[in-house]
Structure 1
Amino acid sequence: MQVTPAATLRPAAAHALRLSTETLDDATSLTRATGRQRRHSSILKVSCWAAAHHQHNSNPQHFKATGIRIAKTLHAFYQFCRPHTIFGTIIGITSVSLLPVKSLDDFTLIAIWGFLEALVAALCMNVYVVGLNQIFDIEIDKVNKPTLPLASGEFSVPTAVVLVVAFLVMSISIGIRSKSAPLMCALLVSFLLGSAYSIDVPLLRWKRHAFLAAFCIIFVRAVVVQLAFFAHMQQHVLKRPLAPTRSVVFATFFMCCFAAVIALFKDIPDVDGDRDFGIQSMTVRLGQQRVHRLCINILMTAYAAAILVGASSTNLYEKIVIVSGHVLLASTLWQRAQQFDIENKDCITQFYMFIWKLFYAEYFLIPFV
């Protein structure tokens, strides 16, 4: 057996040692790389989970914030439309449109469509008129009605301008499409008087003058609504000869009294701002207490006249409804008037809205006249 010399073994051992060291280094590097990869993977997983968790939590909050913004915008628009006037328009036009109806056979699809055309056109014009008034009354409303959207800053002036122009265009477009002369007449008169009432240019801004301001409100609410929409339904929709009925004549005269009261009483809670900005309303001239008493006397006189009209009816059922209905409304008015506090602005505002409720109630009685 041959013995390998030591000199021969040293290079081989050295080579083996190098191989072992390189293998160990490779293994160590691989282990470190694997560790880094695991750490990066863990960090990536945590980051993904955090992002998903944040998105999951932020979505409901985002939707909630969006919902709140939409609700605030809708509420501002609701206030911008002056809802008590909207309700008055809906109830008034519906009541007057029923006056030409003689039987259930008149409730055809054509008649219903004609009524809806008139109602929607009138509502659009209503928004135009009240919106235009707010555009020109921003500074006054900051004193008198600070919660309105323009006065409070919820709506900008450009937004309000876009709204009033859009509703004006819609109203006139519906009127033209209907080809109804009475409806177009009502819309144009409302547009002209509503513009003259509010627009602040020479010869206009009629709300500065008590008589002209009252004329605008009385003519639209009492004359135009009763006569024009009655004519629209009777002549244009039902195709009957235009002949005023007892009900529409009564409604016109009675609503002249009511519109006059609304025109006078609406300025009682606004006396401070009107006085500061040179609006010569009847309240500024005569004082709140005297205008309040005048309004109550006008309404009580109108109710007394309505009771006499009901008592003269030959139909027992109509007589009972008209007389008892107006007695109830008159007694309610008298009772509320005794509790009226001229020094309490909230009480004044509530009483003004109560007058609008009496206005609504009257339209439920008019078809029985």
Structure 2
Amino acid sequence: MSDSQSSNSNQTPTNPAQTDSRSAKARQMLGMKGAASGETSIWKIRLQLMKPITWIPLIWGVVCGAASSGNFTWNLENVMIAAACMLLSGPLMTGYTQTLNDFYDREIDAINEPYRPIPSGAISIPQVVTQIFVLLLGGLAIAYSLDLWAGHEFPTMTILTLGGALIAYIYSAPPLKLKQNGWLGNYALGSSYIALPWWAGQALFGKLDATIMILTLFYSMAGLGIAIVNDFKSVEGDRQLGLKSLPVMFGVGTAAWICVCAIDVFQAGIAAYLISIHQNLYAVILLLLVIPQITFQDMYFLRNPLENDVKYQASAQPFLVLGMLVAALALGNAGV
């Protein structure tokens, strides 16, 4: 027998079922669509409730805020403080938001995502409530500590944290439950993912003023588009429970176009502002980063938003978040 034949005979064939199982477990830990159920470790279940995949934009937002402040310098102290702010924005406050959302969405999750920890019975309601309060109090403690470090006379970080917690509550909980309205809910989500962590990074290393707040709220309209993408996975459950998500109100096709227009137009608007403050190179780079997003919108999302939502986000969102950093660096360079 030849060496190549021997080598081939010793190779272990790939088992598609094992591959699918590993993928489902990974999705479970990250809190993604298509996860497996049946996890028994309470700590893994708690982590699943916190949806680690959703922490990344918030952590990135802190980076953008630090960059736009124009005052961040690379030393150990600043890196540690930035890391603490990322812990605040990502695992703690986003974890709080996601756990709170799962708590109030347990009925609709039983339809759309029955593998989630609460509808599957993997964790009890008292355990979920405890987790919500622990994450919130931990976030407030770190926010107050960051205010002390920054020497804030006004507790900016603490107020931002309380504001974010309030938005998370009225987004998920009755009677307001903003997520029942496709426009208000998605903008609340988009601004929480872009503006709030950006403000935190800006306030920590510089001055949070009206200009930065308005610009990031404008940028959050692109975040509204990203938030709409998440509505497509739950369109059937939303329709059954009477939730007015954009895919339910306008239909899947029209909602997909609203989504991509919001993402592209408002990024272009930020580029136009950068040109107005003579940051032309940054504006060109930002516009160049929009082009692959449009390409992936055409390739995946607009053709079948129900099937390709995850594939589209994985392909296009890296360019959007890179564009955020480009805009932040431009603002820092311009001293805005």
TM-score class normalised by the smaller sequence? 0.7 to 0.9
Shift of 1:220: 2.4
Amino acid at match of 2:261: N
Larger Rg: 1
Amino acid at match of 2:85: A
Does residue 1:257 correspond to 2:226, yes or no? no
Does residue 1:361 correspond to 2:333, yes or no? no
Q: Which residue of 2 aligns with 1:269?
A: 233
Which residue of 177, 191, 199 maps to 2:165? 191
What residue ranges of structure 1 are gaps of 5+ in the alignment?
1-68, 236-241
Does residue 1:305 correspond to 2:269, yes or no? yes
TM-score by length of structure 2 reads 0.73
Shift of 1:254: 5.1
TM-score by length of structure 1 reads 0.67
Q: Deviations over 1:164-209 (max 9, x none)?
A: 1111111112223333511111101111111111123xx3322222
The change in CA–CA distance for 1:244 and 1:101 in structure 2 (over 3 A counts) is: farther
Question: Whole-Å Cα distance in 2 between the matches of residues 162 and 230 of structure 1?
Answer: 31
Shift of 1:305: 3.1
Shift of 1:218: 3.8
Which residue of 229, 239, 248 maps to 1:284? 248
Question: Whole-Å Cα distance in 2 between the matches of residues 212 and 309 of structure 1?
Answer: 25
Higher relative contact order (CA 8 A, sep 6+): 2
The change in CA–CA distance for 1:253 and 1:101 in structure 2 (over 3 A counts) is: same
Q: Secondary structure at the match of 2:118?
A: helix
Does residue 1:326 correspond to 2:294, yes or no? no
Shift of 1:89: 0.9
Question: Whole-Å Cα distance in 1 between the matches of residues 54 and 184 of structure 2?
Answer: 20
Question: Whole-Å Cα distance in 1 between the matches of residues 238 and 39 of structure 2?
Answer: 33
Shift of 1:94: 1.7
Amino acid at match of 1:185: I
The change in CA–CA distance for 1:360 and 1:81 in structure 2 (over 3 A counts) is: farther
Q: Secondary structure at the match of 1:147?
A: coil
The change in CA–CA distance for 1:362 and 1:193 in structure 2 (over 3 A counts) is: same
Q: Which residue of 2 aligns with 1:229?
A: 201
Q: Secondary structure at the match of 2:64?
A: helix
Which residue of 63, 75, 83 maps to 1:94? 63
Q: Deviations over 1:119-141 (max 9, x none)?
A: 22223111111100001111211
The change in CA–CA distance for 1:349 and 1:145 in structure 2 (over 3 A counts) is: farther
CA-atom RMSD in angstroms = 3.0
Shift of 1:268: 1.9
Q: Which residue of 2 aligns with 1:348?
A: 309
Shift of 1:148: 2.5
The change in CA–CA distance for 1:120 and 1:77 in structure 2 (over 3 A counts) is: same
Q: Which residue of 2 aligns with 1:182?
A: 156
Contact 2:59-2:86 at 8 Å conserved across structures: yes
Q: Deviations over 1:34-62 (max 9, x none)?
A: xxxxxxxxxxxxxxxxxxxxxxxxxxxxx
The change in CA–CA distance for 1:72 and 1:303 in structure 2 (over 3 A counts) is: same
Q: Deviations over 1:272-319 (max 9, x none)?
A: 11111121122211111101011112222234334445556756xx70
Q: Which residue of 1 aligns with 2:188?
A: 216
Does residue 1:167 correspond to 2:135, yes or no? yes
Shift of 1:160: 2.0
What residue ranges of structure 2 are gaps of 5+ in the alignment?
1-37, 331-336
Q: Which residue of 2 aligns with 1:207?
A: 179
Q: Which residue of 1 aligns with 2:4?
A: none
Question: Whole-Å Cα distance in 2 between the matches of residues 314 and 209 of structure 1?
Answer: 38
Contact 2:65-2:200 at 8 Å conserved across structures: no
Contact 2:84-2:142 at 8 Å conserved across structures: yes
Contact 2:178-2:184 at 8 Å conserved across structures: yes
Amino acid at match of 1:281: S
Contact 2:187-2:221 at 8 Å conserved across structures: no
Question: Whole-Å Cα distance in 2 between the matches of residues 163 and 285 of structure 1?
Answer: 34
Question: Whole-Å Cα distance in 2 between the matches of residues 143 and 343 of structure 1?
Answer: 22
Question: Whole-Å Cα distance in 1 between the matches of residues 173 and 311 of structure 2?
Answer: 28
Matched-pair identity in % = 19
Shift of 1:113: 4.1
Contact 1:125-1:191 at 8 Å conserved across structures: yes
Q: Which residue of 2 aligns with 1:81?
A: 50
Question: Whole-Å Cα distance in 1 between the matches of residues 143 and 305 of structure 2?
Answer: 43
